[in-house]
Amino acid sequence: MRKIDKRIVVIAAFIFIVGLAYGLMRFLAAQKEDMQRRPPVAAKRFVKAEPVKYVTILSPVSADGRLTSTAEVDIVAEASGRLQQGEIALKKGTKFSQGDILFVVYPDEAELALKASKSQFLNTLANLLPDIRIDFPEQEEGYMEFFSSISLDHPLPPFPETENEKLKIFLTSRNVLSQYYNIRKDELQLSRRTTIAPFEGTFTEVNLEVGSYTNTGGRVAKAIRTDELELEVPVKRFDAAWVKIGDPVTVESDRRGLSWKGKVIRKSPFVDPNTQSQAIFIKIQNHRNPNLLSGEYLTAAFPGHPIKDAMEVPRNVVFNTNEVFVIVDSRLEKRVANVIKENEKTLVFNGLEEGEVLVMQPLINVLEGTLVEMLGNDQGRTAAGEKGDKAARVKPGEGTDGKTEGATGKMKENAARKKPAERGEKTAEKKKRTEQGQPE
């Protein structure tokens, strides 16, 4: 029993000591004064801003496009036969000038057949001339001149015109007119055996070599025109409305640092459903060096058009496609802007009220309602204002760390307490020296 009672006493004493310590700790904690905390200072950001002001903006229009030839044709043979060399080589990439003979379809058989037809026609006329001299003497001189001007190596001259109905019946009954027009058809067919360049250009494809046999309508080569080129430029529907046919255009090559003059020759009457743009075609004369080449990409700069009641700002000012920040009572607020036109580095908009303060810089991780201040030209003044605000927030009796000024006050108080005691000690020492007869 005694051992059990001893254990109970030890446990009870331990619990009492622990409870006493906890109660003392709570009592001391309750006696401690709460530390005074500074009120939180709202963070303020300085941003570039300016009032919204609408003016008339001359907005230039520029777009990239691919250069193509104004004429891209397939050259076919209009007669059958063997191909012969012309004035230039029938090879891909060969340049030619207007009027050059590109190639010839073997003409010897056609030339001989034509001469035979002319000889037969001369024989028919020779048999008719005596009858014309007797029956139509007033027409004799004209038909004699026509007969004399016919040559086997040259095209037929124009047939003499007549209004005499009897003469027409006479010539028709002798097949004179049919023979004449058959010969003219053969002459035209012979001329088509020689293919002449209709413009200055080059071969882009060659399907048949010299010496090959071709049929009528056979594709021989493909050529493009090089002296006149056109630039197809896709332009947004809003900007394309300001471009007129006949407007002058400056065409530039960024890689070569060159520019050319062009002119708008047509506009597509439809919009590309994928890009929502309208095609503008610009004609360029390619007579200067260095020459332009079909297929290269160029930039076209059109004359600017006026946009009334608008403002132009950097593109990074706008976020979420059409939202901007404005400053109202030193805090940020969102506004929705009406974006009229986007340029390479800027955009033109309206839709805000004139006079509103628009933030002119991109803001990252900033929420609506953030406290801001418009950044002026003198940034040093702003920094000084920050220091003044900080000094104004320091309580009396505190330094920059809240302790320096208080420590200084304590030092002065101790010094004031020490001075009376020091004066008393000096007076007692002076009296002692006087009594002993020592000098002061």
pLDDT (0 to 100) of residue 241: 84
Amino acid identity at 118: K
Q: What's the confidence (pLDDT) of residue 238?
A: 81
Give helix 108-135 / helix 176-191 axis angle, nearest 10°: 150
Residue 408: the pLDDT is 41
Task: Write down the pLDDT at residue 220.
Answer: 93
Q: What is the pLDDT of residue 400?
A: 38
Q: Which amino acid is at 214?
A: T
The per-residue pLDDT for 242 is 83
Predicted local distance difference test score (pLDDT) of residue 378: 47
Q: How far is CA 110 from the centre of its chain?
A: 58
pLDDT value of residue 40:
55
* pLDDT confidence of residue 4: 60
Q: What pLDDT, on a 0 to 100 scale, did the predictor assign at position 44?
A: 76
Q: How many residues does the chain have?
A: 440
Query: CB–CB of 109/220 below 8 Å?
Result: no
C-alpha atoms less than 13 angstroms from C-alpha of 80 in its C-beta half-sphere: 2
Spatial distance between the Cα atoms of 37 and 138, rounded to a whole number of angstroms = 134
Which pLDDT score is estimated for 35?
65
Closest CA to 136 of 173, 169, 108: 169
Rounded distance between C-alpha atoms, residue 129 and residue 55, angstroms: 89
Query: What was the pLDDT predicted at 432?
Result: 47
The pTM assigned to this predicted structure is 0.56
Euclidean distance between CA atoms 309 and 296, whole angstroms = 38
Q: Read out DSSP for 177-188?
A: HHHHHHHHHHHH
Query: Mind listing the pLDDT tens digit of every residue in the chain (440 residues)?
Result: 455 677 788 888 888 888 888 888 887 777 766 666 665 555 678 899 999 999 998 887 888 999 999 889 999 988 888 899 999 999 999 999 999 999 999 888 788 888 899 999 999 988 888 888 888 888 888 888 988 898 888 889 998 888 888 888 888 888 888 999 999 988 888 888 889 999 999 999 999 989 889 888 889 999 999 888 999 999 988 888 888 899 899 998 877 778 888 999 999 999 999 888 999 999 998 776 567 888 889 999 988 788 899 999 999 999 998 999 999 999 999 999 999 888 878 899 999 999 999 999 998 888 888 899 888 634 434 433 443 444 334 333 343 344 334 434 444 444 444 444 444 444 445 444 544 444 44
> What is the structure's pLDDT at 34?
62
